[in-house]
Amino acid sequence: MQNFDYQTPTRLIFGKGIIEKLPEVMNQFGKKILLTYGGGSIKKIGLYDKVKELLADFEIFELSGIQPNPKYDPSVLDGVKICKENNIDVILAVGGGSVLDCSKAIATGAKYDGDPWDLISYKAFAEDSIPIVDIITLAATGSEYDCGGVISRTETNDKIGYMDSHNYPMVSFLDPTYTFTVSKKQTAAGCADAMNHIMEQYFCEDSTLLNDGFMEAGLKSLMANAVKCLENPQDYTARAEMMLTCTYGCNGIYSLGNSQSGWPCHGIEHALSAYYDITHGEGLAIITPRWMKHILSEKTVNRFVKYGVNVFGIDSTLDKFEIANKAISETYKFFESIGIPMHLKEVGIDESRIVEMAHHIAVNEGLENAWVPLNENDLVKILTDSL
């Protein structure tokens, strides 16, 4: 077991009707709010009007149009500008992980004198930030309970995941009913994203009975509840379990004391969505089984056996490589069963830029330090297998 230093200060307010606590919560942070959101789905479900009604006594500035794979330019830069010009006290992010990730970059960027990209690219480190409160409308990234974010910069094909302890949300509002209208496509992609968060922690050299149990429970919860959510989008219990399981995804609680995996699938997928702007969870689902097949070896097989037996119930008396291959195949089949396109070509990616992407990943993602190190040739192979 490895040493660790862990703290998640975020307050989670979870359940039906909890939005009524919003004014009381916002009052703790000040009266000038930057409200951030995406393409308008929060208007369709009535959440935008509800927020405005509850916060009638506050001064609200707005930044809308934040896209999936949120963009440095214009979203982060626009948000920073609004905050600086208006002395914003608190950011209220309403939406999915992209809105929240973008808001995190704004929160630290607004308290920094230089180019906010310095912080995202770790050329400089934040000393202060604007507090963030969020209302989550998509079960997926877990950004509501971690201090990380992923920001894309179109002109350089950069999609960078960065972490800063200033960026833990102060309070996350999680009402599962706000996810009732999430499309089948996004429900499935959210499930795949959250499953991948767990798998990126599960496949490592050194874990514990406790953490393995946590992660296996997380994976089983995501699979069982995603199926229920797809069958009946208004199944409250399934949406609620899905939401909480996603929330734990990246904050560390699933794997305290584990050795690091290097998050290889996220490293690879960041290039896919930086170059092609695809849906993050779909990219992960496509890459994951190909990556698994690529790294399966005498060194890794026992982890796959544990995964296969405990997550998919595969017969533990079979040969270990048979169990491992079945587990990989079950992973693929599960993603396929919830409607995810399982080939890069289906999401508009062909072989033309694979070599270029592999080079970009090799240079930027540090995957030579992953549990199973990946070099440029490995990356070309995994991407080609994923076509």
Residues contributing to the site for its own copies (CB under 8 A)? 1-18, 176, 208-214, 216-218, 220-221, 224-225, 236-237, 240-241, 244-245, 253, 256-257
Q: What value, to the nearest 5°, has the Cα angle with vertex 113 and ends 112 and 115? A: 85
As measured in angstroms, the least distance from the Cβ of 247 to its own copies is 9
Nearer to its own copies, 187 or 211 (CB): 211
As measured in angstroms, the least distance from the Cβ of 320 to its own copies is 21
Would you say 189 and 282 are in contact if contact means Cβ atoms under 8 Å apart?
yes
CB-count burial class (<10 Å; 0-12, 13-18, 19+) for 355 = middle
- Which residue's entry shows tokens 């995804």? 249
As measured in angstroms, the least distance from the Cβ of 162 to its own copies is 21
Could you give the 3-state DSSP secondary structure of residue 333? helix
Nearer to its own copies, 72 or 254 (CB): 254
Nearer to its own copies, 3 or 352 (CB): 3
Decide the pairing of beta strands 171-174 and 32-36.
Answer: unpaired
CB-count burial class (<10 Å; 0-12, 13-18, 19+) for 363 = exposed
**Cα 340 from Cα 383, distance rounded (Å):** 17
Nearer to its own copies, 224 or 301 (CB): 224
Nearer to its own copies, 13 or 54 (CB): 13
Task: State the DSSP H helix or E strand holding residue 223, giving kind and residue range, or none if neither.
Answer: helix 209-231
**Which residue in 27, 48, 167, 29 sits closest to 97, CA to CA?**
167
**Cα 4 from Cα 218, distance rounded (Å):** 22
Would you say 141 and 269 are in contact if contact means Cβ atoms under 8 Å apart?
no
CB-count burial class (<10 Å; 0-12, 13-18, 19+) for 25 = middle
Nearer to its own copies, 246 or 285 (CB): 246
As measured in angstroms, the least distance from the Cβ of 10 to its own copies is 7
Nearer to its own copies, 302 or 377 (CB): 302
Nearer to its own copies, 156 or 237 (CB): 237
As measured in angstroms, the least distance from the Cβ of 208 to its own copies is 5
**Cα 19 from Cα 51, distance rounded (Å):** 8
**Cα 46 from Cα 41, distance rounded (Å):** 9
Nearer to its own copies, 77 or 227 (CB): 227
**Which residue in 101, 142, 100 sits closest to 253, CA to CA?**
142
As measured in angstroms, the least distance from the Cβ of 62 to its own copies is 28
As measured in angstroms, the least distance from the Cβ of 153 to its own copies is 33
As measured in angstroms, the least distance from the Cβ of 90 to its own copies is 17
**Which residue in 149, 142, 144 sits closest to 163, CA to CA?**
149
As measured in angstroms, the least distance from the Cβ of 217 to its own copies is 2
| Rg over CA atoms, the chain | 20
